[in-house]
Amino acid sequence: MIANARMHLREYVNNDDVDLAISVMLQSFIQSQKYSVARIIQKKFSHYIRFREENHILLKQILDKLMNEKVKIFHI
């Protein structure tokens, strides 16, 4: 939770950070279950799982921007 807040340059944790932490925990737990159990859990907690996918897009954009800045620095 704290890492996500810091990634967004905040000094506090908000509801989105908590939702992301729950999503990460759920995905980890779901992956350790049998397929039939995993499908049931995914349906019941789909809100949190979808939330995580949206954050992956944001994280990729941030990482792409950082990489482009580093490449520019080293090519100068």
DSSP notation for 17-44: HHHHHHHHHHHHHHHTS-HHHHHHHHHH
Q: What is the pLDDT of residue 19?
A: 78
Spacing of C-alpha 36 from chain mean position: 25
Q: What is the mean pLDDT of residues 43-55?
A: 68
With contact defined as beta carbons under 8 Å apart, do 13 and 5 qualify? yes
Q: What is the mean pLDDT of residues 49-74?
A: 75
Q: Residue 39: pLDDT above 60? A: yes
pTM score, two decimals? Answer: 0.49
Q: Residue 50: pLDDT above 70? A: no
Q: What sign has the CA pseudo-torsion 65, 1, 46, 42? A: positive
